[in-house]
């Protein structure tokens, strides 16, 4: 039986607020995949010097090891949506948790470069799956009135994962007397850095048993009573459960299981909305944000900052990342997705241009490299302000938009393609940065600044606002 209180619309803000605490728990548990995504993506930052020393590899081969996970990410992201439609969102989370766990153990105990690379690819499969299933699941369980803020939990978890990985790396480095190859309990410090991810990976798997399946998936497989039970838990006691279930069911009748073929149309190959999703994903990476999180400690050392300070700056940029994400969470539903994106693009363009100017004063060669005091200060401030503007805009908004912008009939497949594009762009930036920085560090940041500038007209003219709209309104 269902009940409706007078004056309460089905799924409205008042109804949603009844069970908001429970919804927040469900969202936070699902976002643990984002935490692992951030942790696994960034933890390599503290281990690169140790890995290079252990295996005696070149900068170009090191870049391939660092970026190997991203190829796995692209595959995992491409498959996650289709697999989730077949077996459910929760089971995909559990598969990702197992992949994270296996990757952490293998990466901490590699025999050679080839198997370290293999373990990172396996971890990449998990990251890619989590990057798709997290925002999709959250969008499906979150009440429309809170969906933007709850959707931003994914990015919040990512940036917390990044910050925690840097804090753990710093702590391990201190215990190893500042030496990434220092011995701790029979293993080198960098091995502990990679292996500690076992703890959050196991926690993610356990939390997946404490949250419900998506009501949309339950309705799609005929489990109507279970779907209504979940809806009552997430949308409040004042919700007309039959009406909400009928609304979702009606939307699903107009659709079929999304496949890659559904995304095709017109001369451009993909449907226009799919290209917009791909563009959002690509711009998010082409501004060079992951250069900060993959290479920041080695980057600062390359311009004359000592190793201990370089780890400290890596951690402070992670804290700025968290602060910016909190700002985005507070404003994404108040001022909308597009305004935040434009504000962020303008701030990133200026910050990256300042960093390019500062790095143009780099002098010296080999290990004897430095920046003048003024330019060094500008570089540090610009790097931190770049991270801040990214975090309060594109870091959160892209994930929220990708979970919202696609019509129901293509959402899962389109989200998978867009996320795959993001990982491919991430891979391009990651493998190219060592070569670009050796060629001209300032020039690399000029390129990133140009992409930030180009993202402004892209958002203004092509991206539609999704603030306040239900998923069923997307088409």
Q: Is 421 exposed, middle or buried (0-12, 13-18, 19+ CB in 10 A)?
A: buried
Q: How confident is the model at residue 394 (pLDDT cuts 50, 70, 90)?
A: very high
Region label for 236, one of left (φ > 0), alpha (ψ between -120 and 50) or beta (otherwise): left
pLDDT at residue 296, rounded to an integer: 65
Distance CA 196, CA 101 (A): 10
Q: Residues 378, 383, 387, CA angle at the centre, nearest 5°?
A: 145
Distance CA 366, CA 410 (A): 51
Q: How confident is the model at residue 139 (pLDDT cuts 50, 70, 90)?
A: confident
Bigger pLDDT: 367 vs 206? 206
* pLDDT (tens digit per residue) in 402-423: 878 888 778 778 877 887 788 7
Q: Under a CB-based contact definition with an 8 Å cutoff, are residues 445 and 359 in contact? A: yes
Bigger pLDDT: 369 vs 134? 134
Distance CA 50, CA 179 (A): 8
pTM: 0.71
Q: How confident is the model at residue 14 (pLDDT cuts 50, 70, 90)?
A: very low
Enter the tokens of residue 212. Answer: 């419900």
* pLDDT (tens digit per residue) in 59-118: 778 778 878 887 888 788 778 877 888 898 999 999 999 999 999 999 999 988 889 999
Min mean pLDDT across 85-94, 125-134, 266-275, 287-296 is at: 287-296
Summarize the confidence of residues 380-400 as an average pLDDT. 90
């Amino acid at each position: 039986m269902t009940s409706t209180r007078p004056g309460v619309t089905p799924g409205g803000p008042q109804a949603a607020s009844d069970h908001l605490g429970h919804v927040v728990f469900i969202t936070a548990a699902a976002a643990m995949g984002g935490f692992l995504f951030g942790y696994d993506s960034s933890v390599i930052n503290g281990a690169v010097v140790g890995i290079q020393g252990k295996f005696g590899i070149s900068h170009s081969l090191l870049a391939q090891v660092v970026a190997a996970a991203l190829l796995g990410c692209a595959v995992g992201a491409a498959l996650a949506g289709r697999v989730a439609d077949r077996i459910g969102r929760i089971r995909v989370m559990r598969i990702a948790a197992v992949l994270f766990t296996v990757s952490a153990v293998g990466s901490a105990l590699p025999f050679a470069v080839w198997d370290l690379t293999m373990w990172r690819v396996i971890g990449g499969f998990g990251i890619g799956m989590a990057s798709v299933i997290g925002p999709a699941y959250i969008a499906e369980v979150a009440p429309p009135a809170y969906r933007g803020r709850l959707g931003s939990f994914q990015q919040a978890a990512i940036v917390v994962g990044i910050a925690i990985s840097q804090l753990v790396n710093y702590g391990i480095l201190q215990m190893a007397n500042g030496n990434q190859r220092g011995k701790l309990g029979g293993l080198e410090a960098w091995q502990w850095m990679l292996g500690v991810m076992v703890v959050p990976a196991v926690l993610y798997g356990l939390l997946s048993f404490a949250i419900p399946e998506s009501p949309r998936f339950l309705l799609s497989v005929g489990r109507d009573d279970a779907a209504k039970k979940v809806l009552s838990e997430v949308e409040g006691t004042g919700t007309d459960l039959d009406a909400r279930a009928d609304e979702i069911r009606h939307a699903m009748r107009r659709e079929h299981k999304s496949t890659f073929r559904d995304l095709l149309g017109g001369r451009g190959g993909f449907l226009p909305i799919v290209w917009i999703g791909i563009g959002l994903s690509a711009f998010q990476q082409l501004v060079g944000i992951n250069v900060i999180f993959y290479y920041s400690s080695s980057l600062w050392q390359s311009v004359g900052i000592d190793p201990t300070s370089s780890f400290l700056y890596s951690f402070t940029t992670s804290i700025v990342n968290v602060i910016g994400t909190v700002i985005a969470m507070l404003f994404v539903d108040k001022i909308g997705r597009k305004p935040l994106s434009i504000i962020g693009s303008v701030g990133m363009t200026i910050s990256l241009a300042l960093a390019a100017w500062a790095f143009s004063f780099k002098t010296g060669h080999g290990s004897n490299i430095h920046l003048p005091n003024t330019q060094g200060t500008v570089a540090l401030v610009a790097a931190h302000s770049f991270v801040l503007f990214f975090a309060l805009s594109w870091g959160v908004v892209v994930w929220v938009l990708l979970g919202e912008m696609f019509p129901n009939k293509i959402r899962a497949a389109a989200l998978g393609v867009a996320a795959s594009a993001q990982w491919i762009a991430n891979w391009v930036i990651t493998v190219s940065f060592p070569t670009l920085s050796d060629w001209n560090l300032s020039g690399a940041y000029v390129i990133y600044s140009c992409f930030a500038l180009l993202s402004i007209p892209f958002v203004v003219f092509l991206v539609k606002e999704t603030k306040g709209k239900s998923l069923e309104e997307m088409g």
